[in-house]
Structure 1
Amino acid sequence: MSVIARTLGVSRSNLIERATNPSKPRGPYRKVDDLVLLAELRPIIDQRPTYGYRRVTALLNRQRRKESKPTVNTKRVLRVMQQNGRTLQKHTALRRTRTHDGVVVALRSNIRWCSDQLEMHARNGEVVRIVFVIDACDREIIAWSAIAKSRHLRRDGV
């Protein structure tokens, strides 16, 4: 312990005291004006309960600028809202599993249709777009259209 004390340039008794008596953890930080700030926040939160602390801070600071008061830090608004249970529930971003397996089922013909389109680029610069509609029950093509972009040719299967 004495080698460490000499290296750090502190007394050995100071190191022993710190090792045996750990410092007390600090309590929650509170400013004197937090109750005043909470009184300003409550009407905003009550009027717009779905707003998070960032939007609430923006509205509060807009109101304070109109009254020529200094603006409030976003982190302070978050701390005051958390200490008083005024924050929104955290979003977990958990999404439901995919229920659609890619199979489209229709019990009889002409009830559900599917459509798709594709585009093919030729070497000479022409672009051909093909659009078609399929009956989901019997997979029959109901209508189709092919359009060549550069020559404006149009052939319809309807």
Structure 2
Amino acid sequence: MLLVVEGRFGRVNRLPQTIEWLTDNGSGTIAGETKRLACNIGPEPRTTPELSPQSNGMAEAFVRTIKRDYVRVSSLPHARTVIDTRPVWFKHDNTVHPYKALDYLSPREFIASRQSL
């Protein structure tokens, strides 16, 4: 969580404003230590309703895409490689990876094409 916050907002002791942090109800995200960290640096934890997969569908689809298209085809798909390589994979997914639902454009290409309309 700290890496994500600092990646977005830079090194800060606390976010300039409170933002909502939407998570599933996994043990790592509902643990007391995780909630305390969130309270200390600014994100306000919000969990999806239990037994409601449609409320977490976009996050689950993204995780499934990363696992299918990046982790499983990695030459060394163990935890350290995945953790270290995520930023490269996320950038590729956003800027290069084509999606059928986006007319075979990457998300950034799709957004750019809509802004020129």
Q: Please, what TM-score do these two structures have when normalized by structure 1?
A: 0.21
Higher gyration radius (CA)? 1
Bigger share in strand: 1
Q: Higher helix fraction: Structure 1 or Structure 2? A: 2
Instruction: Report 1 or 2 for greater relative contact order, CA contacts < 8 Å, sequence distance ≥ 6.
Output: 2
